[in-house]
Amino acid sequence: MRIAVVGAGALGLYYGAMLQRSGVDVCFLLRRDYQAINTSGLQVRSVNGDFYLAQVKACRAPAEIGAVDLVIVGLKTFSNDQMIELVRPLVGSETAILTLQNGLGNEELLAEAFGPERVLGGIAFLCSNRGEPGVVHHLGEGRIRLGEFRAGLTPRSDKLALLFKEAGVPCEAVADVRRARWEKLVWNIPFNGLSALLGQDVTDILTCSHTRKLVRELMLDVIAGANAQGLSKEIDGTKFSEQMITFTDGMDHYRPSMQIDREEGRPLELEAIFAIPLQRAAAAGTTMPRVDMLYRLLASGEKI
């Protein structure tokens, strides 16, 4: 299988490196890291053991890569205006497209451009940051849940899950990728949002009783919005929110990506993580008032 990684930041570099290390033919579409990786390879510093790829296929333009069997999209969603044109040269007659992006709406954009039959969605539970050019830091987790945009388990989704598992990435094929996306939002909305707004990491937020309570309330808002979507199975608010908070208690001063983006002057992924979920909750006849307030506070700090 030949794979192209579009959006080779912390997520794309890590998963692409894991796949290449297992013997898969991977080509990375690179910007910032192109010179460093093309010259000196890719270094992964991981809690599971560091490794180094001396030779990496790196390209600056998708036309240099050409058609592949699988496109993995790891772009930040604020770059979605460029996504279709970046992916188009990579798509052949049998190409599948797997988006591992945050939030909602990504599969729909790809399905409209390339057909729903090509598109899969993946939810990545990954703690990773970029280091200096050519280096990615894997701080914890890494599991993926993926499924067909059209829903239902298929041989293709099972095959892709196995591909990741054979590369050392825990991966599960799921029948309802919409439910999995909303489950990820239960974590993403409070922790990415509050970390960016307050400039505090997840440990700081959970150590303070006031913000810990707010995290739970935000999670319950998101779960109410999720359960209005007609999912295959409702999310248990009390149980799932407690699981997410307990899980995050184990992250030692982890800085979510949105906090890093704000600190480094980049845009925030507000559309996919906040605006579209709010719109879909409203369309289903429910509200997420705390989420809406957090979204407005975050948006007020963005450059327009």
Of 251, 256, 278, the C-alpha closest to 268 is 256
- Is residue 57 annotated as part of the catalytic site, yes or no? no
Average pLDDT on 175-183 reads 95
Closest CA to 280 of 81, 16, 104: 104
Q: How many CB atoms lie within 10 A of CB 82?
A: 12
Do residues 6 and 64 lie in contact, with contact meaning Cβ atoms separated by under 8 Å? no
Q: At what angle do helices 209-227 and 177-198 cross, to 10 degrees?
A: 150
Average pLDDT in the 239-265 region? 94
> What is the per-residue pLDDT across 74-108, written as a single tens digit (0 to 9) for each?
999 999 999 999 999 999 999 999 999 999 999 99
Q: Are 53 and 29 in contact (CB under 8 A)?
A: no
Q: What's residue 202's pLDDT? A: 97
Burial class, 171, CB count within 10 angstroms (exposed 0-12 / middle 13-18 / buried 19+): buried
pLDDT at 257: 92
Q: Give the amino acid at 198.
A: L
Say whether pLDDT at 131 is over 90.
Answer: no
Would you state the structure tokens that stand for residue 212, as one six-digit string?
């810990």
280 pLDDT exceeds 70?
Answer: yes
**In the numeric block, which tokens belong to residue 219?**
């999670």
- Cα separation, 2 vs 96, in Å, equals 11
The pLDDT of 144-160, averaged and rounded, is: 94
- Of 57, 165, 184, 303, the catalytic one is 184
In whole angstroms, give the CA distance from residue 40 to residue 82.
Answer: 28
Residue among 75, 304, 300, 303 nearest 193 (CA): 300
Residue 45 · residue 71 · CB < 8 Å: no
Distance separating alpha carbons of residues 295 and 291, to the nearest angstrom: 6
Q: Give the residue with greater pLDDT, 136 vs 301.
A: 136
pLDDT tens-digit series, residues 2-59: 999 999 899 999 999 999 999 999 999 998 899 999 999 999 999 999 999 999 999 9
Helices and strands, counts by H and E, the chain: 13, 10
Q: What is the pLDDT of residue 302?
A: 86
What mean pLDDT is reported for the chain?
A: 96
Q: What is the pLDDT of residue 304?
A: 53
Query: Which pair of tokens denotes residue 20?
Result: 């290449």
In the prediction, which pLDDT does 176 show? 94
Output the pTM of the full model.
0.94
Domain 179-300: top CATH class: mainly alpha
Residue that wins the pLDDT comparison between 100 and 141: 100
Sequence ranges of the domains in the chain: 2-175, 179-300
Residue 229 has pLDDT above 90, yes or no: yes
Residue type at 193? Answer: G
Q: What's the rounded mean pLDDT across residues 261-267?
A: 93
Q: Where are the alpha helices (DSSP H) in the chain?
A: 10-21, 34-40, 80-87, 106-114, 155-166, 177-198, 202-207, 209-227, 237-249, 257-263, 270, 276-283, 289-300
* Domain 2-175, architecture per CATH: 3-Layer(aba) Sandwich (3.40)
In three-state form (DSSP H/G/I as H, E/B as E, the rest C), the secondary structure along 29-43 is: ECCCCHHHHHHHCEE
